[in-house]
Amino acid sequence: MTKDGGKQDKKAAQYGVTPQSADFNDWYNEVVKKADLADNSPVAGAMVVRPYGSALWENIVRWLDDRFKATGHESLVFPTLIPMGFIMKEADHVEGFAPELFTVNKIGTEELAEPYVMRPTSETIIGHMWSGWLNSYRDLPFLHYQWGSVFRAELRTKAFLRTSEFFWHEGHTAHADEPEARAEVRQMLDIYHEFCRDILALPVVRGEKTASERFAGAVATYSIEGMMRDGKALQSGTSHYLGQNFSRAFDVKFQTREQKEEFAHTTSWAISSRIIGAIIMTHGDDFGLIMPPRIAPIQVVVIPVGRKDNFDQMVEEGEKLAAELRAQGLRVKVDKRDGVTNGFKYNNWELKGVPVRIELGPRDLESGVVVVKNRNGEEKETLARAEAVSGMTARLDEIHDWLYGRATEYLLNHTLTVDTYEAFQEAIEGGNWVRAYHCGDAACEKSIKDDTKATTRNVPLDDAEFFHEAGEGVCVKCGRPSAYGKRVIFGRQY
Amino acid sequence: MTKDGGKQDKKAAQYGVTPQSADFNDWYNEVVKKADLADNSPVAGAMVVRPYGSALWENIVRWLDDRFKATGHESLVFPTLIPMGFIMKEADHVEGFAPELFTVNKIGTEELAEPYVMRPTSETIIGHMWSGWLNSYRDLPFLHYQWGSVFRAELRTKAFLRTSEFFWHEGHTAHADEPEARAEVRQMLDIYHEFCRDILALPVVRGEKTASERFAGAVATYSIEGMMRDGKALQSGTSHYLGQNFSRAFDVKFQTREQKEEFAHTTSWAISSRIIGAIIMTHGDDFGLIMPPRIAPIQVVVIPVGRKDNFDQMVEEGEKLAAELRAQGLRVKVDKRDGVTNGFKYNNWELKGVPVRIELGPRDLESGVVVVKNRNGEEKETLARAEAVSGMTARLDEIHDWLYGRATEYLLNHTLTVDTYEAFQEAIEGGNWVRAYHCGDAACEKSIKDDTKATTRNVPLDDAEFFHEAGEGVCVKCGRPSAYGKRVIFGRQY
């Protein structure tokens, strides 16, 4: 029984979602399905995204796309297929991706001598095209990105988190020199951070990946890492400095101002549909989802509460109220369903995580009030109708802040600073992240992973919000001097 | 030499685009490439869409997507892959698509016993999913659509028109009865028509396809057909009534209000990236593209005209002007390139079809004027700066009307009404469409195609803008009585 005297247990049982505390994995799968975010598909490893999930993804796409354009990036569309031989050209890249490839061996009636693969990522084919487009330093920078699906074989599927086909943007840029390329890598990481903090209410840690966790073919990989409510990490976005690795492999060179020939410095960066998993697992509770208000497909749901003889009238009044809210730019739904109880509707929209619910009944109408309930609060409030309307944006902002605050508290409470391997193991086993000094040796990292299933998440940047203090010590595992000049974050991950 | 005294020939030669009249096909391919719409790719049959083409497609997507949502449709995302067996379930469907399929036979290291195909269209997998989602008449209608790539093998590639991978939305809806499904089919055809007429300035003919030109598996197929400047037709959008064919094949059934079991009536509809081919080939001229103003990625280009010592100042003034235009919601570019001549810039933006160019030089600045040139006109105008700004939206509307008027005139002038097969053949050979009576027999249609390469485009609807008069006659080929109650449109097609 939970501390609210069983109210929560009862509601959860009524609606039929396994509580988080009972089984986080079951909770996740049930919420995804019952909230109509996604469904299983007949294609191994792939999901079907249903309208509510698709609307959420569209809002994510729109915000990011606007930001990319505002920072001078241009969208392109590259083919879904890539000649198999391209993947083989960059040594680390092929090693990283070969085991996950989807192979196309026949087009129409023609058996292919050289097969194609469905893109696992597009560095190779983009490098090939850039090679043809790039002549002079005057052509640079290339600031490109595309939205689309990518394909990487997954054996154990989990909607949004691990699917063989997933959706993302992949940014690809080419620059005349390293500092400019590195500034781009950092700019995009910061945009991802801003997006998570200000739009999704997700606290994330910006940092650099250790060598063994780098993208296949990168010189440096930066990530934002978020903590889910089971203490696991979810890498929520990455930004890579690729050096000249791909430009050498694909002959992406240009004439410099000094008339010399030089290979371009390239970057790539991405946020994928996994971020929806982060939203679910950071904000959800035993009742279901809690949608961060600024990205929520439906920000306010209006429930007309009537009997048979006045239901149509209440629906009409609900539509009037919705129109006033929409006039403020809000996304509002009126639940006009007939033949289901109000209780069912309340639970249904709580499960779907709509931030604010307004109930409107005949007596409320007479008194000029409405009943308002925040998804994150226990209490209903009765407010003057005009006040409810005019205060709605501020209310949504408050919910945003509450979500960000709660998730930050969780992150801080579940990140333990340890100096012994025993404490390390205990902390990981208890569903926490660990901050520890590490020697920087890949073999040592691997032995920690073998012992605990925890990997390095990242080394926080100096200006990261959390966990960035400088310091030196000895490796928590092997006792050698620490690398990185600060503690590294370890955790189990999705 | 053209009638403007060679001016056009000279300009075209200078910029290096083959004139339309010399070789329409070369003109098309050169314009696509030189205007930076698209490029060839290393993947057989696929193109790379470059930023200018991608921006155009994004504008198309945005308008249509808004319209779909406004008419109650919801987006979903279905997998790119479809089990091969699904395609085999609807007899006409497999016959239509089997020769064009991309086959995936290996995922990761696993050879697949049953291969997947990359979707040529998604009726089958959507039918499968609907079967699981549909229970009662209360669940209907399903009003779904998705944006994405589809894959159909093409031997002879032509950017936007014929590519193995192309981009589209596919709408899929399920209804409780035939009248509602047919109303949906008609609604979407009308939205496509509205889009072409009001946004793309493309006159199109709404009509029903003859049986032999139907979508594989449809009961009825409706299309909008546009005429290109070489007299060929381009099918620019389709809307299909699928009856219960796919719902029977995929068991999409529901309980009716009367507690009976019934198969749903389904529809599908699409506009693809081919529509960009229609824009190019309807509006373009010997100088290159002419972008319809309401969809143009860049509606106004500002060219600062300065010398070395005042170029930066003119760029700054150009930005001020652009800001004023943008404040009206217009899409404006300032061409700040240094090191290329003004003449090069003028030709470059003409090639790219930007509807309005503004030149701004130091003397103009002093006099408070700007020089304005419409892409479709020969003459430059010198206007008071404020007047140029405040009149810009109206100017763009005028260009829209001019384009629609010119294309309509071309369509009407190149559609000949004939009653003999000799006249029919002559008209087709001369690059026209033909309006003729036809018996409705598929074998007779085929013999006309064998003789002339012309196929039936459609039978115009009663309320189509053009060519809809009722009438009866004898078949232009075989002399049997006419079917359809009006003349059928024939033409060669892309």
Prediction ipTM score:
0.93
User: At which of A236, A258, A283 does a domain end?
Assistant: A283
Q: What's the mean per-residue pLDDT of chain A?
A: 94
Write phi, then psi, for A296 (nearest 5 degrees).
-55, 130
**Structural domain contains residue B121:** yes
Contact A102 B101 (CB under 8 A): no
Angular region, B252: left φ>0, alpha ψ -120 to 50, beta rest: beta
pLDDT bin (cut points 50, 70, 90) of residue B156 is confident
Q: Quote the distance between the C-alpha of residue A367 and its chain's center.
A: 44
What is the rounded average pLDDT of the residues B345-358?
A: 97
What is the rounded average pLDDT of the residues B103-125?
A: 93
For residue A17, the tally of other CB atoms under 10 A from its CB is: 24
Contact B55 A78 (CB under 8 A): no
**pLDDT higher for B96 or A28?**
A28
Q: In the predicted model, is pLDDT for residue B5 greater than 50?
A: no
Question: Which pLDDT belongs to residue A15?
Answer: 60
CB contact A167 to B (< 8 Å): yes
Contact B54 A39 (CB under 8 A): no
pLDDT bin (cut points 50, 70, 90) of residue B108 is confident
**Candidate from A65-69, B268-272, B378-382 with smallest mean pLDDT:** B378-382
**Residue-number span of the structural domain to which A333 is assigned:** 300-408
CATH number of B358's domain: 3.40.50.800
Question: Which pLDDT belongs to residue A2?
Answer: 40
Q: What's at B230, amino acid-wise?
A: D
For residue A389, the tally of other CB atoms under 10 A from its CB is: 19
Tell me the β-bridge partners of A358: A302, A372
Q: Distance between CA A285 and CA A287 in Å, rounded?
A: 5
Q: What is the per-residue pLDDT across A75-99, written as a single tens digit (0 to 9) for each?
A: 999 999 999 999 888 777 788 888 8
Which of B33, B47, B80, B130 has the highest number of chain A CBs within 10 A, making it the mutation to test binding with A? Answer: B80
Residues 6 or more apart whose CB falls under 8 angstroms from that of B255 comprise B135, B136, B137, B261, B262
Q: In the predicted model, is pLDDT for residue B2 greater than 60?
A: no
Give helix B274-283 / helix B24-34 axis angle, nearest 10°: 110
Q: What is the per-residue pLDDT across A340-360, written as a single tens digit (0 to 9) for each?
A: 899 999 999 999 999 999 999
- How many structural domains compose chain B? 3
Percentage above 70 pLDDT, chain B: 97
CB contact B382 to A (< 8 Å): no
What is the rounded average pLDDT of the residues B172-180?
A: 98
Residues A236 and A255 in one domain: yes
Tell me the β-bridge partners of A416: A434
Residues A238 and A370 in one domain: no
Is there a contact between A39 and A53 (Cβ–Cβ < 8 Å)? no
**Structural domain contains residue A293:** no
Percentage above 90 pLDDT, chain B: 90
Contact A57 B43 (CB under 8 A): no
Question: Which pLDDT belongs to residue A99?
Answer: 86
Residues B69 and B186 in one domain: yes
User: At which of B406, B425, B441 does a domain end?
Assistant: B406
**Structural domain contains residue B378:** yes
**Structural domain contains residue B118:** yes
Residues A235 and A304 in one domain: no
What is the rounded average pLDDT of the residues B82-110?
A: 87
Is there a contact between A294 and A396 (Cβ–Cβ < 8 Å)? yes
Q: What is the per-residue pLDDT across B214-256, written as a single tens digit (0 to 9) for each?
A: 998 999 999 999 999 999 999 999 999 999 999 999 999 999 9
Q: In the predicted model, is pLDDT for residue A273 greater than 60?
A: yes
Contact B99 A79 (CB under 8 A): no
User: From the CA atom positions of chain B, what is the Rg in Å?
Assistant: 25
Is there a contact between A247 and A127 (Cβ–Cβ < 8 Å)? yes
What is the rounded average pLDDT of the residues B276-295?
A: 97
Residues B238 and B331 in one domain: no
Residues A447 and A395 in one domain: no
For residue A105, the tally of other CB atoms under 10 A from its CB is: 18
**For residue B222, what are the CA distances in angstroms to A467, B36, B64, B190?**
62, 33, 18, 10
Most confident of A94-108, A304-318, A451-465: A451-465
Q: In the predicted model, is pLDDT for residue A194 greater than 50?
A: yes
**pLDDT higher for B133 or B155?**
B133
CB contact B39 to A (< 8 Å): yes
Q: What's the mean per-residue pLDDT of chain B?
A: 94
CATH number of B66's domain: 3.30.930.10
Q: What is the per-residue pLDDT across B389-406, written as a single tens digit (0 to 9) for each?
A: 999 999 999 999 999 999
Candidates B77, B83, B104; nearest CB to A54: B77
Percentage above 90 pLDDT, chain A: 90
**Structural domain contains residue A290:** no
Q: Distance between CA A211 and CA B468 in Å, rounded?
A: 69
At B449 the three-state DSSP class reads helix
Is there a contact between B154 and B99 (Cβ–Cβ < 8 Å)? no
Angle (CA) B361-B365-B370 rounded to 5° is 70
Q: In the predicted model, is pLDDT for residue B89 greater than 90?
A: no
Residues A191 and A313 in one domain: no
Strands (E), B308-379: 332-334, 356-360, 369-374
**Structural domain contains residue A2:** no
H helix runs in A119-196, sequence order? 123-133, 178-194
Question: Which pLDDT belongs to residue B3?
Answer: 44
Pairing of strands A165-175, A142-151: antiparallel
User: At which of B351, B374, B406 does a domain end?
Assistant: B406
Residues B205 and B306 in one domain: no
**pLDDT higher for B66 or A339?**
B66
**Candidate from A1-10, B10-19, B331-340 with smallest mean pLDDT:** A1-10
Taking contacts as CB-CB distances below 8 angstroms, the residues of chain B near A106 are 101-103, 105
Q: In the predicted model, is pLDDT for residue B14 greater than 60?
A: no
Residues B336 and B360 in one domain: yes
Q: What's at A201, amino acid-wise?
A: A
pLDDT bin (cut points 50, 70, 90) of residue B92 is confident
Contact B107 A153 (CB under 8 A): yes
pLDDT bin (cut points 50, 70, 90) of residue A10 is low
Taking contacts as CB-CB distances below 8 angstroms, the residues of chain B near A54 are 74-77
pLDDT bin (cut points 50, 70, 90) of residue B1 is very low
What is the rounded average pLDDT of the residues A482-490?
A: 97
Question: Which pLDDT belongs to residue B155?
Answer: 81
CATH number of B438's domain: 3.30.110.30
CB contact A106 to B (< 8 Å): yes
**Structural domain contains residue A52:** yes
SS percent in chain B: helix, strand, coil, step 5:
40, 30, 35
Question: Which pLDDT belongs to residue A7?
Answer: 52
Q: In the predicted model, is pLDDT for residue B283 greater than 80?
A: yes
**How far B470 CA lies from chain A's nearest CA (Å)?**
42
Question: Which pLDDT belongs to residue B13?
Answer: 52
Q: Distance between CA A431 and CA A428 in Å, rounded?
A: 5
Residues B314 and B199 in one domain: no
Q: In the predicted model, is pLDDT for residue B203 greater than 60?
A: yes
**pLDDT higher for A129 or A216?**
A129
Structure tokens at B333: 């570019």
Question: Which pLDDT belongs to residue A3?
Answer: 44
For residue B151, the tally of other CB atoms under 10 A from its CB is: 25
What is the rounded average pLDDT of the residues B312-340?
A: 95
Q: Distance between CA B432 and CA A330 in Å, rounded?
A: 52
DSSP B2-41: -TTTTHHHHHHHHHTPPPTTT-HHHHHHHHHHHTTSEEE-
Structure tokens at B29: 């391919």
Residues A329 and A214 in one domain: no
Residues 6 or more apart whose CB falls under 8 angstroms from that of B242 comprise B123, B217, B218, B219, B265, B266, B267, B268
Candidates B75, B83, B125; nearest CB to A54: B75
H helix runs in A253-375, sequence order? 274-283, 311-326, 342-351, 362-367
**Structural domain contains residue A3:** no
CA atoms within 13 A on the CB side of B374: 20
Is there a contact between A49 and A57 (Cβ–Cβ < 8 Å)? yes
Residues A308 and A402 in one domain: yes
Which of A36, A47, A48, A156 has the highest number of chain B CBs within 10 A, making it the mutation to test binding with B? Answer: A48
Question: Which pLDDT belongs to residue A338?
Answer: 85
